[in-house]
């Protein structure tokens, strides 16, 4: 019995000894885990190179370690770690889901700031070193201290009413703020939730949605557009057959901008605008060079409609907005104005900030009609910085995101600074390098708003800058300033330099306006009375242009914009500033035909192409069957009897022994024969309004055919 008690006592003693030791070991493990938690940067020493790795550990509520690893050169980001163990000064962890069982085994030095050891994979061992660094998000926030003062000064110096800014690091927002005023008249502040137009930064939403369809096998970027839209047609038949969706969204179609075709056009549907492309001029071959073109992005958006059976708006909402939780973002400035927090549009004119009307560009939505806030646009940036993943959802394949960002079309343009490389265009994005760091970005400028979405994918930073003044360089200059701070680069006074140059630029602009008068030939006058220029002119691609005479002054209206005209010289007239200044200083030149009639008007509606020629249309009454009916009858000359008949709302001419001709109305209250425009026909009407004869003008003379009286046909008597 005594022996049993003695043995029991020893067990208790041993347990008492062991218990403190276990507690001490647990404490040491927890202390080691706390030291390990954080951000680590270093490299694996492979033969001939060092493979950069970034490792982040964090402690869970249960005091366990979790972690992810990124390998920038392999474009691997946030790969999960498993089997993380930290005991007795040693740490080991494996990369989950990667072949070859990649495992790190190492030790911390006494400072707890350095980890060294061996990386093993597929039976091979390599040394690695990791150094503990400052948390990247905290470091970035620290780098941006004092930025408020910089931005507020920039708003004043560069004459910008307000600005909203978001700065993103990987999956976190590090700065989200509004500056200045969203509404100057009512002194309402800009906020991170203020809705502003993002303009052409909308293009990347169209390509993102199409890329999702591509991932699903519903579209190929490299099959001809006619595969999906059989009627699609351009003015060049060879390009028509070859052009692909990738060509549409990389600005290499061969078409210049032709923006005035759609600008302020509220009448034409998207399909009609795409059909008009069959009548506009190319200035390059397919894939020959970069030429920015909004109409090609419209076509890409229309393709999205065809493929989904939904409107572009519905498709973007389903494929982009909803999964990215962009709940207030919209597609029309009309919708923005229904929100409680939206920005008014402003412009800088005559050395002052003035409020201007919203411009509705719904028809061109796929190229630039999205409105959003910097808060919601942050989610848009995150999905690109994180290889198509948002939250736990992989919206695009990683390879697809990489494809969206690849430079496809080089831009033959000299950079404005040595800090920038030459640029290329990807699928809805510009791509270049800023001070050696890759940039992916797209700006947006539409009436009253300037925007920029920019990313440094290899550095993990993203920026959204939205302003309520059009044509300001501030978004780009601010992003450069922020980039310098975040990357620890030697600062450049981008904003200050622009402010100093602003006054000089304004003075140069004034001098240029004054010199424009020197190009005017003095002492000339129009060849016609002003009323003869009035009428409706038409181009099959650009549509209608109307000229009216009002109070002894000519005005022209195109796409709903009315502009007063002044005589410039000879047959050229100059646009003056109207309520909408779009066509201020636009020169229109009228042309007289061989009959002395004003037959057409032309202007540089696309500066890089030939002048767009609008042909004068006949009076509308010549398309009215009720009016045309009075010309029906038989007309005779030298025993020849010609018959004029009416088919629907078109007159026809029957000449014995010849095919039936259609009579096409032409300016001057005349007709021509379809296919034989050199022949002109005019009907002579007496004072009572009765048609008495028909004049046929052709080479060799003008022949008058008398109208036969109604009733049984009689042959003319011979004398």
Strands 561-569 and 553-558: antiparallel
Q: Which pLDDT score, from 0 to 100, does residue 29 have?
A: 61
For the cut 70, the answer to whether the pLDDT of residue 717 exceeds it is: no
Beta bridge partners of 682: 695
Let me know: does 598 contact 667? Beta carbons within 8 Å.
Answer: yes
In degrees rounded to 5, what are phi and psi of residue 682? -130, 135
Model confidence band, residue 28 (pLDDT cutoffs 50, 70, 90): low
Q: Quick: pLDDT tens for 109-128.
A: 988 899 999 999 999 999 99
Model confidence band, residue 247 (pLDDT cutoffs 50, 70, 90): very high
Let me know: does 495 contact 474? Beta carbons within 8 Å.
Answer: yes
For the cut 50, the answer to whether the pLDDT of residue 515 exceeds it is: yes
Q: Which pLDDT score, from 0 to 100, does residue 27 have?
A: 56
Q: Quick: pLDDT tens for 188-243.
A: 999 999 999 999 999 999 999 999 999 999 999 999 999 999 999 999 999 999 99
CATH architecture of the domain covering 625-707: Beta Barrel (2.40)
Q: Which pLDDT score, from 0 to 100, does residue 24 have?
A: 54
For the cut 50, the answer to whether the pLDDT of residue 14 exceeds it is: no
Model confidence band, residue 80 (pLDDT cutoffs 50, 70, 90): very high
Q: Which pLDDT score, from 0 to 100, does residue 76 have?
A: 86
What is the Cα–Cα distance from 550 to 562, expressed in whole angstroms? 12
| Averaged pLDDT, 451-480 | 97
Q: Which pLDDT score, from 0 to 100, does residue 1 have?
A: 45
Q: Quick: pLDDT tens for 579-603.
A: 999 999 999 999 999 889 999 999 9
Pick the CATH number of 530-617 from 3.10.100.10, 1.10.490.10, 3.40.50.720, 2.40.128.50: 2.40.128.50
For the cut 70, the answer to whether the pLDDT of residue 21 exceeds it is: no
For the cut 50, the answer to whether the pLDDT of residue 141 exceeds it is: yes
Question: What torsion do the CA atoms of 642, 646, 652, 657 make, to the nearest 10 degrees?
Answer: -50
Q: Quick: pLDDT tens for 359-418.
A: 999 999 999 999 999 999 999 999 999 999 999 999 999 999 999 999 999 999 988 899
Equal CATH topology for 143-506 and 625-707 = no
Q: Which pLDDT score, from 0 to 100, does residue 25 have?
A: 46
Q: Which pLDDT score, from 0 to 100, does residue 4 have?
A: 43
What is the Cα–Cα distance from 680 to 66, expressed in whole angstroms? 87
| Averaged pLDDT, 63-90 | 90
Beta strands in 570-632 (DSSP E): 572-575, 587-592, 598-603, 612-616
Model confidence band, residue 427 (pLDDT cutoffs 50, 70, 90): very high
Contacts 24+ apart (CB under 8 A), 416-425: 419/480, 419/492, 424/290, 425/250, 425/251, 425/252, 425/290
**Residue among 430, 502, 513 nearest 203 (CA):** 430
Place of tokens 């790190």: 104
Let me know: does 202 contact 513? Beta carbons within 8 Å.
Answer: no
Q: Global pTM?
A: 0.88
| Averaged pLDDT, 637-663 | 94
For the cut 60, the answer to whether the pLDDT of residue 169 exceeds it is: yes
CATH, domain range 143-506: 3.40.710.10
Question: What torsion do the CA atoms of 124, 129, 134, 135 make, to the nearest 10 degrees?
Answer: 10
Model confidence band, residue 301 (pLDDT cutoffs 50, 70, 90): very high
| Averaged pLDDT, 644-655 | 96
**What's domain 25-133's superfamily in CATH?**
Quinohemoprotein amine dehydrogenase alpha subunit, domain 2 (2.40.128.120)
Place of tokens 């085994």: 105
**Residue among 452, 471, 424, 439 nearest 202 (CA):** 452
What is the Cα–Cα distance from 83 to 102, expressed in whole angstroms? 11
Domain boundaries, the chain: 25-133, 143-506, 530-617, 625-707
């Amino acid at each position: 019995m005594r022996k049993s008690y003695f043995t029991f006592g020893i067990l208790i003693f041993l347990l008492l000894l062991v218990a403190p030791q276990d507690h001490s070991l647990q404490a040491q493990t927890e202390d080691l885990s706390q030291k390990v938690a954080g951000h680590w940067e270093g490299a694996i020493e492979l033969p001939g190179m060092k493979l950069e790795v970034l490792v982040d550990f964090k402690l869970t509520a249960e005091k366990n370690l979790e972690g992810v690893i990124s390998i920038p050169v392999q474009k691997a980001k946030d790969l999960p770690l498993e089997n993380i163990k930290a005991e007795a000064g040693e740490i080991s962890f494996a990369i989950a889901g990667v072949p070859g069982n990649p495992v790190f085994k190492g030790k911390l030095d006494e400072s707890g700031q350095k980890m060294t050891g061996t990386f093993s994979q597929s039976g091979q061992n390599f040394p690695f070193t990791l150094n503990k660094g400052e948390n990247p998000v905290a470091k970035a926030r620290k780098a941006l201290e004092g930025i408020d003062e910089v931005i507020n000064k920039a708003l004043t110096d560069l004459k910008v009413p307000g600005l909203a800014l978001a700065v993103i690091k990987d999956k976190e927002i590090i700065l989200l703020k509004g500056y200045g005023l969203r509404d100057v008249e009512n002194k309402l502040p800009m906020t991170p939730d203020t809705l502003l137009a993002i303009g052409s930064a909308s293009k990347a939403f169209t390509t993102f949605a199409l890329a999702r369809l591509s991932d699903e096998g519903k579209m190929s970027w490299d099959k001809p557009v006619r595969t999906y839209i059989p009627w699609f047609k351009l003015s060049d038949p060879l390009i028509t057959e070859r052009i692909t969706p990738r060509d549409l969204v990389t600005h290499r179609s061969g078409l210049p901008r032709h923006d005035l075709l759609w600008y302020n056009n509220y009448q034409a549907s998207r399909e009609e605008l795409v059909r008009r492309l069959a009548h506009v001029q190319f200035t390059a071959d397919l894939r020959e060079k970069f030429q920015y073109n909004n109409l090609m992005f419209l076509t890409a958006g229309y393709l999205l409609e065809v493929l989904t059976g939904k409107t572009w708006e519905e498709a973007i909402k389903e494929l982009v907005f909803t999964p990215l939780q962009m709940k207030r973002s919209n597609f029309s400035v009309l919708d923005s104005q229904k929100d409680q927090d939206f920005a008014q549009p402003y412009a800088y004119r005559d050395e002052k900030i003035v409020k201007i009307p919203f411009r509705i560009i719904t028809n061109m939505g796929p190229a630039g009609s999205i409105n959003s806030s910097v808060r919601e646009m942050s989610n848009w940036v995150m999905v690109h910085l994180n290889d198509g993943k948002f939250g736990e959802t992989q919206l695009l394949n990683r390879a697809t995101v990489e494809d969206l960002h690849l430079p496809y079309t080089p831009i033959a343009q000299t950079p404005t600074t040595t800090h920038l490389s030459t640029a290329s265009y990807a699928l809805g994005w510009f791509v270049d390098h800023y001070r050696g760091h890759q940039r992916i970005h797209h700006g947006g400028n539409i009436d009253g708003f300037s925007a920029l979405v920019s990313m440094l994918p290899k550095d993990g930073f993203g920026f959204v800058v939205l302003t309520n003044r059009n044509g300001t360089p501030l978004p780009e200059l601010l992003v450069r300033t922020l980039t310098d701070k975040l990357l620890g680069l030697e600062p450049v006074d981008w904003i200050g330099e622009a402010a100093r140059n602003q006054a000089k630029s304004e003075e140069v602009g004034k001098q240029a306006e004054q010199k424009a008068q020197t190009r005017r030939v003095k002492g000339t006058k129009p060849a016609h009375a002003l009323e003869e220029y009035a009428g409706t002119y038409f181009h099959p691609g650009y549509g209608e242009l109307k000229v009216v005479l009002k109070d002894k002054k000519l005005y022209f209206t195109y796409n709903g914009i009315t502009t007063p005209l002044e005589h410039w010289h000879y047959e050229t007239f100059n646009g003056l500033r109207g309520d909408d200044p779009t066509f201020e200083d636009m020169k229109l030149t009228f042309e007289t035909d061989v009959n002395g009639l004003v037959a057409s008007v032309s202007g540089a509606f696309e500066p890089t192409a030939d002048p767009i020629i609008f042909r004068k249309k006949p009076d509308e009454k010549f398309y009215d069957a009720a009016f045309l009916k009075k010309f029906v009858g038989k007309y005779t000359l030298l025993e020849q009897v010609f018959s004029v008949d009416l088919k629907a709302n078109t007159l026809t001419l029957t000449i014995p022994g010849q095919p039936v001709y259609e009579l096409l109305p032409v300016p001057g209250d005349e007709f021509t024969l379809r296919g034989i425009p050199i022949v002109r026909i005019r009907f002579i009407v007496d004072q009572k309004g009765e048609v008495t004869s028909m004049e046929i003008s052709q080479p060799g003379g003008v022949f008058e055919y008398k109208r036969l009286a109604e009733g049984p046909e009689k042959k003319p008597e011979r004398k």
